[in-house]
Structure 1
Amino acid sequence: MSSPYRAIFAAPGAKGFSAAGLLGRMPLSMMGIGIVTMVSELTGRYGLAGALSATLALATAVMGPQVSRLVDRHGQRRVMRPATLVAAASTAALLLSAQQGWPEWTLFLFVLGVGTVPSVGSMVRARWSALYADSPERLHTAYSAESVIDEVVFIAGPLLAIGLSTGWFPEAGPLLAGVFLVAGVFWLTAQRATEPAPAPAAHRSGGSALRSRGLRVLVVTFVATGGLFGSIEVVTVAFAEEHGHKAASSLVLAVWALGSCLAGAVFGLLHPKGDPALRWLLGVCAMAVSMIPLQLVGNLAVLAVALFFAGLAIAPTMVTTMALVGHHVPRANFTEGLSWMSTGMAVGAALGSSVAGSVVDAAGAGPGYAVPGASGALAAVVAFLGYRRLRPAPERAEASVPRARGGAGAHDGDSEDERVA
């Protein structure tokens, strides 16, 4: 591992909360695609599978920011554990209803409960932000490391979810995702020393982080970007099935994530200068352009190559997005601000997977790649229109910086309330 990465993980507790975050966010890549695979295996209906995946994304979009707002007020442990138990119980009920062939409405009901899952990635990034609030270069490297971990999750997750659901039993993928969620969240929240202290009452605005115009631009853009991500997953599974190798879809999606993983690892070694808003705009446009070759693919090998190059634009754009959230959202609402990004992506993924499932059912997988193409173009248009609202980036009030409860993130001048659990 290169020196910048060694430096950030040298802080006490950093390796532990990052490892717990990796485990806890596995459902991010496993649950949606696992449900799609499970339902398509049991019923052969991609429309229903896509609709359930969309419902899950929408439920997560509605609940995620509310859970994160409570976290900003009350702390990660007090909020994440109850929310996780609700999500885990709903997952168990969902799998039982699918296995027993209960009425379709029960599937949608239990998927809504799964939507209470906390945004584990936001919680981990909030810990990095508390740890390196005074070191922008190290925070950039930390965000890049988390982006790489995200891609590791998206490489391993679909492999596990699709492989287990197609090779063992249909419910196996979502089942393992639920196990990972409970284990990761309880491990993460057991690490109290690096947990950001709740924002003091005097620094709470009482309003939503969405009052920031810059954040609204980022969220709307991520809705379109989420449509790109969600639709590619559904269409790729169908494309692989049409070519007689459904299980290979997990490998193809892993190659896509691998491209992003490599780009994120390199990006973390750099310390880019200049306007981050312009860098973000170029990244969004690069993702949009990378969707063009998908319209021309004719086999799985070519698709894998196209997706690898498409992945190169993802991680750097995501890292820059997290930095922009940090500039445009008060630190007292930072976790909520990060969750709104996940929410925008979840809403887009819901729309994209639902539309893609319908297109696949009606016209086949090949035309289905028009959905991510259109989503990428829409994201670029929104980014162009909102670019001016992202620059210049305002400075956040340092008085509201939440520090870690103990260890490297706590400064000598912090109040006793902010340092002690």
Structure 2
Amino acid sequence: MPSSASVPPHAAAGRPGYRAVLGAPHAGRTFAAALLGRLSYGVVPLALLLAVRDSTGSYSAAGAAMALFGLASVLLSPVRAALVDRHGPRRALPPMAALYTALLLAVAAATARPGMPSAALAALVVAAGACTPPLGPVMRMLWRRLLPDPDLLRRAYSLDGVAEELLFVSGPLLVGVLLPLIGPAGAVVAGAALLLTGALLLVASPLAAADAGRDAEDEARDDARDAGREDDRGERAVGAAGSATGGRRGRRAGRLGGGRALRSAVLAAAVTGLALGALDLMVVAFAERQGRPEAVGWVLAALSVGSAVGGLGLGALDRPLPNAVRLPLFTAGLGLALTAAGFAPNLLLLGAAVALAGLFVSPALTTAYLVADEAVAADARTRAGAWVNTACNAGSAAGGATVGLLVGHLPLPLCFALAAAPALAAVPVLRTRDFGGARSRRKSDPAPDRVA
């Protein structure tokens, strides 16, 4: 039987697009809770950076601590997501959020007065990063549970991605408002409070009640899939008849699966993140060479606006191309737009080219999440989403670091082209993937006669 929280596909599809997503049972309160908690992701990094700098008096110590914070958060994201897949959000998220909050409060207390050893602060910051709750992957898993209709799910993922990007823009602005009032340590406390409140409200939603993992409908769909599919090594997957229970136990024991489709989603996210990480630094260098460093903000804002428009546009389409076509298409568009940006003669045209590149960012990531979500069993979706998220963040860090080494030694147009090269090089690889063959087409692509 379907979960009581889910929306019948045809009933939901009869309503207007994004209104149908937010009007689904418990969707509004759950999404609002997730966004409240995820706002802390835009607040905490800058607040921590400023707090550690004020306590140690050293930018290098603050930068090193934040690099370790980001590394611990990104690399351990799949591990934290696996805990959610195994135990359910209601049992996994509260202790994770409580520990993360406690560690941030310890950092705030340690940085409230100068003189704390840098090594001790770094240890606290790294511990906090290691415990960052995966609210984004959890929310995407709940969207899947709530919206079995593929068109509505695509709209939900598009809306989720755009909202998350806006949170990362508004988080630093909130820190700027808080600093004169409560200082950097107080801003860290505020970020911790946002996370804890959002996480607790999220798990209080009826959508998070199915802690055991999957509906009977999800299990039947996954078992039917396993009965007829071979994995990448040529081994026959467990069939639904006679071996379904053993197959589920194997997956819960830690096997993620997903095969080529999941690897394609992770690759697309990684090259997208790499392009974004490189772009930030190249925009700074371009603006400085034009004698207009203050223009960096509005050029990067153009990227966010383009990404928001692209994401909402993807969600609004009634008959989008299949995922297997969209993923390489959006990746290629990002690479070409980024290459063109390197030839911009002035900041105005650079902003236009960056906005054009942004049109492909949110659609590429949304499609990567959809592909990853469909590639794995229901009890592994949080982990699959976390791997996509990890790939994007790791790519961003690698892109920034690599371009940082090149931007002072090579012409900027060449730097833009090199930053775009991984995205363009990934296109032939992505085009060879069937993303699950008939199963992917059946689950992800709208039927020819469906009108959402």
Length-normalised TM-score, structure 2: 0.73
| 1:130 equivalent among 145, 149, 158 | 145
CA distance in structure 1 between the aligned counterparts of 2:378 and 2:142, rounded to whole angstroms:
12
Return closer, same or farther for 1:237/1:357 CA change in 2, 3 Å cut-off: same
Q: How far is 1:101 from its partner? A: 5.0
1:183/1:301 CA distance change after superposition, 3 Å: farther
Task: Please tell me whether residue 285 in structure 1 is matched to residue 332 in structure 2.
Answer: yes
Letter in 2 for 1:389: R
Q: In the superposition, relative to structure 1, how do residues 265 and 386 fare at CA in structure 2: closer, same or farther (>3 Å)?
A: closer
Structure 2 unmatched ranges of 5 or more: 1-14, 215-243, 443-452
Count of aligned positions: 391
1:113 — aligned with what? Answer: 127
Q: Which residue of 2 aligns with 1:28?
A: 41
- 1:181/1:198 CA distance change after superposition, 3 Å: same
Whole-Å separation in 2 of the counterparts to 1:220 and 1:8: 28
Give secondary structure in 1 for the equivalent of 2:76.
helix
Q: Per the alignment, do residues 55 and 288 of structure 1 end up closer, same or farther by CA in structure 2, a change over 3 Å counting? A: farther
| SS of corresponding position for 1:272 | coil
- Report how far residue 111 of structure 1 moved: 2.8
The match for 2:432 is: 388
* Alpha-carbon distance in 1 for matches of 2:59, 2:346: 20
1:79 aligns with 2:123: no
Amino acid at match of 2:141: A
Query: 1:141-163: per-residue Cα shift (whole Å, max 9, x none)?
Result: 21122122123213322333456
Aligned pair partner of 1:227 in 251, 274, 296: 274
- Provide structure 1 residue ranges, at least 5 long, that are not aligned to the other structure: 399-421
Tell me by how many angstroms 1:33 deviates: 4.9
Separation (CA, whole Å) in 2 of partners of 1:173 and 1:372: 35
Residue correspondence of structure 1 range 8-27 to structure 2 within 5 A: 8-27=21-40
**1 or 2 for the larger relative contact order (CA 8 Å, sep ≥6)?**
1
Matches within 5 A, 1:312-331: 312-331=359-378
Q: Distance in 1 between matches of 2:389 and 2:141?
A: 14
Deviation at 1:270? Answer: 0.6
- Give the CA deviation at 1:19: 0.8
Offset at residue 72 of structure 1 (A):
1.4
Q: Deviations over 1:275-294 (max 9, x none)?
A: 31221101011112222355
Which moves more between the two structures, 194-203 or 222-231?
Answer: 194-203
Alpha-carbon separation, structure 1, partners of 2:18 and 2:141: 18
Instruction: Identify the residue that residue 191 of structure 2 maps to in structure 1.
Output: 177
Worse overlay, 39-48 or 98-107 = 39-48
Q: Which amino acid aligns with 2:198?
A: G
Judged with a 3 Å threshold, the aligned counterparts in structure 2 of structure 1 residues 108 and 167 are, in CA distance, closer, same or farther, namely same
* Alignment partners' CA distance in 1, 2:413 and 2:177: 23
Aligned residue number for residue 19 of structure 2:
6
**Please, which of 381, 391, 395 is the counterpart of residue 344 of structure 1?**
391
Please tell me whether Structure 1 or Structure 2 has the larger radius of gyration of its CA atoms. 2
The residue that corresponds to 1:69 in the other structure is 82
TM-score between both structures, scaled by the size of structure 1: 0.78
Identity among equivalent pairs (%):
28
**Which digits, 9 at most, give the CA deviation of each residue in 1:112-143, with x for residues without a partner?**
2222212211111111101122x111111211
- In structure 1, the residue matched to 2:229 is none
- Aligned match for 2:158, one of 136, 139, 144: 144
Query: 2:384 & 2:308 partners in 1: Cα distance?
Result: 24
Instruction: Give 1:357 shift.
Output: 5.6
Would you say the 8 A contact 1:65–1:336 is kept in 2? Answer: yes
User: What is the identity, as a one-letter code, of the residue corresponding to 2:329?
Assistant: L
Q: Which deviates more from structure 2 when the two are superposed, residues 236-245 or residues 140-149?
A: 236-245
The alpha-carbon deviation at position 191 of structure 1 amounts to 1.2
Map of 1:257-336 to 2, 5 A cutoff?
257-295=304-342, 304-336=351-383
